Amino acid sequence: MVAMARAQQSRAGGMRMKPEERAKRSVDMLNEKLTLTQVQKDSIYQFSLNEAKEQQALFQTGGEGTDRRANFEKMKTLRETTQQKIKGLLTDEQQKSYDALLKEQQSKMQGRRGRGGPRE
């Protein structure tokens, strides 16, 4: 899913939001930046909803003795898969803006972590 949505969700109670709310928020933020068509919005909503539901399931099992690193990797794969699906829907111009948005959000996330990599 979109890193920008995740960053803002974390400030707004991200994982406490229902998957449907998270997906809608992601679509709304992308639409603001990329001016999506209705078909793009509908498809991205479905991609984001599926990702949010799978992430929610991982978080729910995360406290039950599961390997946090393994869950982190699963979430990373989910995010990357969703990003690729979204890119496949975008025009060339939208893809450039989307790539710039992802790069900006990655830089912000690395700055918050203070060292540029995943937490151990």
The DSSP symbol for 115 reads: S
CA distances from 117 to 63, 106, 120 (A): 22, 10, 9
**Residue 81: its H or E element:** helix 68-89
Residue 11 is predicted with a pLDDT of 45
CA distance 88 to 65: 37
pLDDT in tens, 86-103: 999 999 999 999 999 999
Average pLDDT over the chain reads: 84
Domain range summary for the chain, segments of one domain joined by +: 3-111
How many Å apart are CA 90 and CA 103, to the nearest integer?
A: 17
Average pLDDT of the residues in 16-29: 95
